[in-house]
A = this chain, B = another copy of it.
Amino acid sequence: MSHYNDPFRGEFDSLEEFADRVSDVLRCPVTIEDANHRLIAYSAHDDHTDPARTATIISRRVPEKVINSLWKQGAIPALLKSREPVRVPPIEGVGLGSRVAVSIWKNDEVIGFIWVLETNRTLSPEEMEWLKLAAKAAKNKVLQLYMRKNKKEERVQELFWKLLTSHIATEDEIRAHLAAVQITAAPQFAVVVFRFAADLTTEMERQISYLLQTTQQLPLLLYTTDRRNVILLAAPKTDQPLKELNEFIESFSAKMKERFHIHDVQSGFGGVYESYRLIEKSYREALAVLALKEKFGNEIKTVYGYAQLGIYQFFDFLLEKKRQGEWANPALAKLHIYDKKHHSDLVKTFETFFDHNENVQETADALNIHPNTLAYRLKRIADIAELDLNDMNQKIKLYIDIKLAKYEAHS
């Protein structure tokens, strides 16, 4: 054959044509993905394929569980590290047959992958070398796409910032803008913010972007970054949006940790709304969650949503009032005095009791005391603070005042 030296030299009209050429040379089905595992092109002449490939082509992206297993199995980390082709043995659970992959590089950045399915044959070492050549040849084509997308990204980000700052007034205008950048309107959405320990580096941005692009738990309409923050417009699909968002955040944090060893990510999301004019509100609420997390690290560690902040939502207001002097809780004052005088822990006890949903057993465990001791202390609290433990009202007030005092101390 005439292409022993470089079978992929020459011009190709499209990446599809290129994919077909690679497929012809290697006599296997081929798919080309961008750095975020979005399908760019695939060879068309193949009869044999596997479920993973089919699903990828149908949805125009690699299914998340396939990506996950490729991470676990080590293929993706290897591809990101080296320009050498990598062979992936079959993975049963996710419908993945044996395949070989190589990454496409631009300078020292991976901008895509070529996958070759080893249907009823195995690539020879020589063919592996050809695959490397294919990756080099693909570079320019993929890069064009990448650039085009980047330009669009910029326009989209600009739009997002306008929404986050309420710079577009009417619902209709917003819809028009979204349509213009090919973002389909969603029935409900919320703004999610991830905050990192330090300003984001380009490297981190790439990793984050990668994670987000490959997430399919939750449709993400818009994305931007700002110093330490990553800001998203997420569109939950079900009627349990909070659950979706929580799971998304948990899984995002987990993946940041296990794949990129980035631990200290704080997360928050605002209210789930249906009108696009409330994007700014949702954004402010997401920021409020993050602000509160800095003050109340422990109490709301597992809370990400503004809606789940509960009473903390209005602590800013209350603190303001308190600072104006129009606030006092003689009952709490009495308890504090008692605690000081007798080196006891009545306030802490009450607080913990409520933190644990008034559950006696749990609270006793948390405080390392006997359940009877807890009962005794509560009775003592009722006496000293003249608090009726059967009156939820009064209990709530005391609880709020305890937390508010903490909040004040941190401010």
Binding site for B on A (CB under 8 A): 240-243, 271-272, 307-314, 317-318, 321, 327-328, 330-331, 354-355, 357-358, 383, 386, 388, 390-397, 399-400
Contact = CB atoms under 8 A, between A and B. Distances in A.
Given A318-B314, A321-B317, A308 B388 contact: yes
A391 B310 contact: yes
Contact of A392 (B308, B358, B391, B397): B358
A311 B391 contact: no
Given A243-B386, A307-B330, A308-B394, 5 more contacts: A240-B383, A307-B331, A311-B396, A396-B399, A396-B400
A271 B240 CA distance: 44
15 contacts: A242-B386, A243-B386, A271-B328, A271-B330, A307-B330, A309-B393, A310-B391, A310-B392, A310-B393, A311-B396, A314-B318, A314-B327, A357-B390, A357-B391, A396-B400
A318 to B, nearest CB: 7
Nearest to A240: B386
Contacts of A355: 392
Contacts of A321: 314, 317
A307 B386 contact: yes
Contacts of A386: 240-243, 307
A390 B242 CA distance: 16
A330 B272 contact: yes
A330 B358 CA distance: 25
Contacts of A309: 393, 397
Given A386-B240, A386-B243, A396-B396, A391 B318 contact: no
A394 to B, nearest CB: 4
How many subunits of this chain does the assembly comprise? Answer: 2
Residue of A309, A314, A327, A392 ringed by the most chain B CB atoms within 10 A: A392
Which 8 A-B pairs have CB atoms at the shortest separation, nearest pair first?
Answer: A310-B393, A310-B397, A242-B386, A310-B394, A357-B390, A354-B392, A357-B392, A311-B396
B354 A313 contact: no
Contact of A397 (B240, B311, B317, B357): B311
Contacts of A272: 330
Given A241-B386, A386-B242, A311 B357 contact: no
Contacts of A314: 318, 321, 327
A392 B363 CA distance: 13
A271 B386 CA distance: 13
A331 B308 CA distance: 10
A314 B320 CA distance: 12
B400 A311 contact: yes
A357 B243 CA distance: 28
Nearest to A355: B392
A318 B397 CA distance: 14
A73 B342 CA distance: 50
Contacts of A400: 311, 396
B317 A391 contact: no
A8 B386 CA distance: 56
B317 A393 contact: no
A314 B243 CA distance: 31
